[in-house]
Amino acid sequence: MGTLRRGFSIASMFLVGVAVLELSLAPANAQAPAPSIKIGALLATSGPGAYQGAQQKEGAELAIEQLNKAGVNGRKFQLFHEDSACGPLPATQAAKRLIESAKPDVIIGESCSDGTLAVMPLVQQAEIPLINASASSLKITEPGNAWTFRIFPHAVMQSDSFARNAYDKLGARTAVLLYENTNAGIDTIDTFEKAFIAKGGKVLVKIGFGRDVNDFTSIATRIAGLGLVDIIPTASLEGQGVKLAQALAQAGITKAGGGKAVQLSNIWLPAGFDEKAGKPAVGFIRIVQFNHLENRAPVQEFLKLYKAKYGADKTPSHLQAQGYDQVMLIADAIRRGGTDAKSIRDHLLATKNFEGATGHVVFDGKRQNSSPDTIHYVETTADLGWKTLDWQ
């Protein structure tokens, strides 16, 4: 009996102990988990620039999946996407929807310069940091907007280097400049023109076109009528880029068509452009912001994760890498103490030597990434692969 009573006593003490323990732990358990960091994504998933936003979104989703396995400083991440369609009006509407409904802590995008310029006043008014990765217009960072960051090399960073290399390494002396009539297209070609003329080159003609142009035969004929041209720098989105390369080869202007001209492009065309354009792309030289052949650890890590998620037969382009890096950069700011829009902005500005798949990120006073290692030159080979050029 005594044993039984003692047993009850021990059991009672154990239960009381458990209850006390429960009570002491209760406040901790009841504490709500830290809210997720809400990332707004203004990415084009319709219209001619849709390939950009769709691929950037893939990269951003991959990064969020990786980060949410453990969280960062107790915070998880949520992506809220709105289709900004690479145009000022749809981008503005998308930004308003995003800001009003999701109330994001930080926004990535827009995919194009015109769209980015249109949403910048809105995000500034809402005091939300905007991280841009694929718009090249100088107007985005030159005025020094306090809330807009860009990890993408702007038009001058790309064009100065390109014009110098075309003049020195290719021996180019004459150029025909082709560009879409957008802020990015005009900035890209104007800055190239200035740099090329400063080196001693001559621009024979500048030809601008709208995004609704499908047939480039007449443009190619006009260029053929100018006589020998050394280089044809081109600023166009992927679809028109493919058609232009094909039309220039058919007209016998570029090397792929038996001519002498070399077509060039800044960071506008994703990996896969070469296969889409086919033989006319052979000899095409362009800048890429992500080279999957690079041996840097972040590149290979990103490549491994991407293939695991989206398929071993798929190769990501700079667009997926940009989306991935944008989110990883935000995570880096959270890791260093960012908690809300303002502190995320401040920690972004203090970013030091963040190394992503697209290169290092070091923001200058205008919040422009000033790291030169985001620029790689590649030439399309006969098998439609890439040859990395040793251009600086």
Q: Name which position in 2, 171, 227, 365 contacts other proteins (CB under 8 A).
A: 227
Q: Name which position in 82, 238, 325, 332 contacts other proteins (CB under 8 A).
A: 238
- Coil, helix or strand for 47? coil
Q: With beta carbons less than 8 A apart as the criterion, state whether 104 and 78 touch.
A: no
Cβ contacts of 195 within 8 Å, gap of 6 or more: 159, 160, 162, 163, 164
Question: Which one, of 312, 392, 301, lies nearest residue 355 by Cα?
Answer: 301
Using rule CB under 8 A, residue 288 touches other proteins: no
Taking CB under 8 A as the binding criterion, the range among 6-14, 141-149, 247-255, 333-341 that sits at the site for other proteins is 247-255
Q: How many of the other CB atoms lie within 10 Å of CB of 156?
A: 18
Cβ contacts of 289 within 8 Å, gap of 6 or more: 152, 153, 267, 318, 321, 322, 358, 359, 374, 375, 376
Using rule CB under 8 A, residue 212 touches other proteins: yes
Please state, in angstroms and rounded to a whole number, the distance separating the CA atoms of residues 177 and 91: 28
Please state, in angstroms and rounded to a whole number, the distance separating the CA atoms of residues 338 and 179: 40
Q: Name which position in 3, 24, 29, 214 contacts other proteins (CB under 8 A).
A: 214
Using rule CB under 8 A, residue 93 touches other proteins: no
Q: With beta carbons less than 8 A apart as the criterion, state whether 190 and 177 touch.
A: no
Using rule CB under 8 A, residue 310 touches other proteins: no
For the segment 140-199, give every residue that binds other proteins (CB under 8 A). 181
Question: Which one, of 325, 319, 292, lies nearest residue 307 by Cα?
Answer: 292
Residue 297 Cβ vs other proteins, minimum distance, rounded to whole Å: 29
Residue 383 Cβ vs other proteins, minimum distance, rounded to whole Å: 17
Q: Which is nearer to other proteins, 54 or 120 (CB)?
A: 54
Using rule CB under 8 A, residue 225 touches other proteins: yes
Q: Which is nearer to other proteins, 215 or 383 (CB)?
A: 215
For the record, the structure tokens of 68 come out as 């949410």
Residue 90 Cβ vs other proteins, minimum distance, rounded to whole Å: 12
- Coil, helix or strand for 233? strand
Please state, in angstroms and rounded to a whole number, the distance separating the CA atoms of residues 159 and 287: 10
For the segment 52-71, give every residue that binds other proteins (CB under 8 A). 53-55
Residue 209 Cβ vs other proteins, minimum distance, rounded to whole Å: 4
Using rule CB under 8 A, residue 265 touches other proteins: no
Using rule CB under 8 A, residue 51 touches other proteins: yes
Q: Name which position in 50, 95, 102, 172 contacts other proteins (CB under 8 A).
A: 50
Using rule CB under 8 A, residue 316 touches other proteins: no
Please state, in angstroms and rounded to a whole number, the distance separating the CA atoms of residues 275 and 286: 15
Residue ranges in the chain assigned as alpha helix (H): 2-30, 50-67, 88-101, 113-126, 155-168, 183-199, 217-224, 238-250, 273-277, 297-310, 318-335, 341-349
* Sign of the torsion formed by the C-alpha atoms of 306, 310, 312 and 314: negative
- Coil, helix or strand for 386? strand
For the segment 348-367, give every residue that binds other proteins (CB under 8 A). none
Using rule CB under 8 A, residue 315 touches other proteins: no
Residue 217 Cβ vs other proteins, minimum distance, rounded to whole Å: 5
Q: Which is nearer to other proteins, 141 or 236 (CB)?
A: 236
Pairing of strands 376-380, 386-389: antiparallel
Q: Which is nearer to other proteins, 129 or 241 (CB)?
A: 241
Residue 239 Cβ vs other proteins, minimum distance, rounded to whole Å: 3
Start-to-end CA span in the chain (Å): 91
Using rule CB under 8 A, residue 75 touches other proteins: no
Q: Name which position in 12, 101, 217, 300 contacts other proteins (CB under 8 A).
A: 217
Residue 375 Cβ vs other proteins, minimum distance, rounded to whole Å: 24
Which residues would be at the binding site for other proteins (CB under 8 A)? 44-48, 50-51, 53-55, 181, 207-215, 217-219, 221-222, 224-227, 238-240, 242-243, 246, 250-252, 257, 275-279
